[in-house]
């Protein structure tokens, strides 16, 4: 059963409502926070949004999504570049793509993006320091190939999760060639996110059919697949994961549930794996979503992006606070009611980026949106 590609929203100067205890770590010192600040991301044609964001350092970051949503063409791909002082929309007019799902990069001349299939299969794009161009890979142009998420390590090896030949699997580039790896041994599965813990340890997340709906899915690749127990839920999709260790894994997403009025928001889902079982942790609000997870310089889960349906005046985050999680708010009086889709660390600093759109409603004048935290 093919389910709708998972898209979560998000939310985030700091408010402190302590949440459920962290079952994995002892209390650690909390750094002094300067607060989230809105950063203009001009140039998109409304309605527009940024789905994912990645940073190589304080002077280089990429964000991708789509613009002109709902227009006659169904939308256009959107990609933006951070140069250390401002976001700039990059030219994609030479490419025929509707939207981009994900982006990853580690240096000025090499970043990667994957997007929604158009005509013959999913596109794979490479940033060469000047522009985005199509990249060749085995299976390119095949109608059943789907590339959903991409990650790049410090060694510049590329990992992509997707499907080929009806099987969910990883596509790997070792800096010499592309290779599809063994299928994930789970039937009726969808993957929405791939992340790296180390050069040889790759984690993926998504959902799997459970007969009457779907449960959260998390798995690890380290030369072979290890599938964690399903995360229980009613139509639960896992948007992002962070693995500090094999027995310290966090997963966030949205549980659609059943029933309720048309347009009813889902419920945010925050779960922790201790090496044996998953434990559900209170997210601090009951209607909305959790969309992204970012680790700190020590490799610990640090920030979660989310969207609180009951308080949309500012963006909402969860911040790791010692042994638990605390709600944190974004800047006030921005003229936006932000809906965040992702949060990511800035290598070489203690800062973070988040990205999404200026409103939950994908209609004009909604535009691409980013926030920055200098910690």
pLDDT in tens, 16-42: 333 343 433 333 333 444 699 999 999
**8-state DSSP, 97:** -
CB contact set of 366 (below 8 Å; sequence gap of 6+):
46, 47, 48, 49, 357, 358, 359
Residue 157 has pLDDT above 50, yes or no: yes
Residue 214 has φ and ψ, to the nearest 5°, of: -150, 150
Let me know if 157 is exposed, middle or buried by CB neighbors in 10 A (0-12, 13-18, 19+): middle
Distance in angstroms (rounded) separating the CA atoms of residues 51 and 102? 7
Distance in angstroms (rounded) separating the CA atoms of residues 198 and 213? 33
Residue 161 Ramachandran class (φ > 0 left, ψ -120 to 50 alpha, else beta): beta
173 to each of 124, 152, 246, 291, how far by Cα in Å? Answer: 12, 10, 24, 27
Q: Which range has the top average pLDDT, 113-122, 261-270, 294-303?
A: 294-303
Instruction: Give the pLDDT confidence score for residue 97 in this predicted structure.
Output: 78
Instruction: Give the pLDDT confidence score for residue 121 in this predicted structure.
Output: 80
Distance in angstroms (rounded) separating the CA atoms of residues 129 and 78? 17
Residue 134 Ramachandran class (φ > 0 left, ψ -120 to 50 alpha, else beta): beta
Instruction: Give the pLDDT confidence score for residue 322 in this predicted structure.
Output: 85
Instruction: Give the pLDDT confidence score for residue 90 in this predicted structure.
Output: 96
Least confident of 58-72, 105-119, 258-272, 321-335: 258-272
Instruction: Give the pLDDT confidence score for residue 28 in this predicted structure.
Output: 36
Bridge-partner residues for 354, per DSSP? 343, 371
Residue 223 has pLDDT above 90, yes or no: yes
Distance in angstroms (rounded) separating the CA atoms of residues 83 and 62? 9
Instruction: Give the pLDDT confidence score for residue 324 in this predicted structure.
Output: 92
Q: Grade residue 74 by pLDDT with cuts at 50, 70 and 90.
A: confident
Distance in angstroms (rounded) separating the CA atoms of residues 356 and 360? 9
What CATH number belongs to 18-373?
Answer: 2.130.10.10
Q: Grade residue 118 by pLDDT with cuts at 50, 70 and 90.
A: confident
Instruction: Give the pLDDT confidence score for residue 260 in this predicted structure.
Output: 59
pLDDT in tens, 316-366: 999 999 889 999 999 998 989 999 999 999 999 999 999 999 999 989 999
pLDDT in tens, 201-213: 999 999 999 888 8
Residue 72 has pLDDT above 70, yes or no: no
Please give the structure tokens belonging to residue 329: 């708010």
Instruction: Give the pLDDT confidence score for residue 6 in this predicted structure.
Output: 42
Instruction: Give the pLDDT confidence score for residue 96 in this predicted structure.
Output: 79
Distance in angstroms (rounded) separating the CA atoms of residues 188 and 167? 9
Instruction: Give the pLDDT confidence score for residue 25 in this predicted structure.
Output: 34
Distance in angstroms (rounded) separating the CA atoms of residues 289 and 6? 11
Distance in angstroms (rounded) separating the CA atoms of residues 49 and 129? 23
Distance in angstroms (rounded) separating the CA atoms of residues 231 and 46? 36
Distance in angstroms (rounded) separating the CA atoms of residues 309 and 311? 6
Instruction: Give the pLDDT confidence score for residue 140 in this predicted structure.
Output: 92
Q: Are 40 and 333 in contact (CB under 8 A)?
A: no
Mean pLDDT of the chain, nearest integer: 89
Please give the structure tokens belonging to residue 88: 């700039």
Q: Can you give the residue ranges of every domain in the chain?
A: 18-373
Distance in angstroms (rounded) separating the CA atoms of residues 47 and 362? 6
Residue 119 has pLDDT above 90, yes or no: no
Instruction: Give the pLDDT confidence score for residue 98 in this predicted structure.
Output: 79
Looking at per-residue pLDDT, the higher value among 69 and 4 belongs to 69
Looking at per-residue pLDDT, the higher value among 160 and 265 belongs to 160
Distance in angstroms (rounded) separating the CA atoms of residues 325 and 272? 12
pLDDT (mean) for 105-117: 92
Per DSSP, the chain holds a count of helices (H) and strands (E) of 0, 29
CB contact set of 280 (below 8 Å; sequence gap of 6+):
269, 270, 271
Buried b (16+ CB within 10 A) or exposed e, 88-111: ebbebeebebbbbbbbbbbebebb
Instruction: Give the pLDDT confidence score for residue 264 in this predicted structure.
Output: 73
Q: Grade residue 47 by pLDDT with cuts at 50, 70 and 90.
A: very high
Instruction: Give the pLDDT confidence score for residue 70 in this predicted structure.
Output: 77
Q: Are 163 and 180 in contact (CB under 8 A)?
A: no
**8-state DSSP, 4:** P
Residue 161 has pLDDT above 60, yes or no: yes
């Amino acid at each position: 059963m093919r389910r709708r590609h998972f898209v979560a929203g998000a939310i985030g100067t700091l408010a402190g409502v302590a949440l459920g205890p962290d079952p994995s770590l002892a209390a650690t010192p909390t750094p002094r926070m300067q607060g989230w600040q809105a950063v203009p991301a001009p140039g998109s044609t409304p309605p527009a949004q940024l789905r994912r964001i990645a940073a190589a350092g304080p002077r280089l970051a990429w964000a991708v999504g789509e613009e002109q949503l709902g227009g006659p063409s169904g939308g256009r791909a959107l990609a933006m570049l951070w140069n250390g002082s401002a976001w700039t929309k990059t030219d994609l007019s030479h490419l025929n793509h509707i939207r981009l799902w994900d982006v990853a990069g580690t240096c000025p001349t090499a970043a990667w993006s994957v997007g929604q299939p158009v005509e013959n299969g999913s596109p794979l794009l490479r940033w060469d320091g000047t522009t985005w161009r199509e990249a060749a890979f085995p299976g390119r142009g095949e109608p059943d190939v789907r590339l959903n998420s991409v990650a790049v390590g410090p060694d510049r090896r590329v990992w992509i999760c997707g499907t080929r030949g009806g099987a969910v699997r990883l596509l790997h580039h070792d800096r010499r060639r592309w290779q599809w790896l063994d299928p994930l041994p789970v039937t009726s599965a969808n993957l929405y996110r791939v992340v790296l813990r180390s050069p040889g340890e790759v984690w993926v997340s998504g959902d799997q059919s459970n007969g009457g709906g779907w449960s959260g899915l998390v798995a690890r690749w380290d030369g072979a697949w290890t599938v964690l127990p399903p995360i229980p839920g009613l139509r639960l999709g896992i948007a992002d994961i962070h693995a500090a260790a094999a027995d310290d894994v966090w997963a966030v997403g949205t549980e659609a549930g059943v029933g309720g009025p048309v347009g009813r928001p889902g419920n945010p889902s925050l779960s922790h794996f201790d090496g044996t079982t998953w434990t559900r942790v209170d997210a601090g609000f009951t209607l909305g979503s959790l969309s992204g997870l970012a680790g700190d310089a020590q490799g610990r889960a640090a920030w979660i992006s989310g969207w609180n349906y009951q308080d949309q005046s500012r963006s909402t985050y969860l911040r790791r606070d010692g042994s638990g999680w605390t709600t944190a708010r974004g800047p006030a009086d921005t003229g936006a009611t932000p809906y965040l889709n992702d949060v990511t660390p800035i290598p070489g600093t203690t800062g973070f980026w988040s990205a999404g759109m200026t409103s939950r409603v994908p209609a004009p004048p909604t535009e691409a949106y980013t926030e920055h935290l200098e910690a």
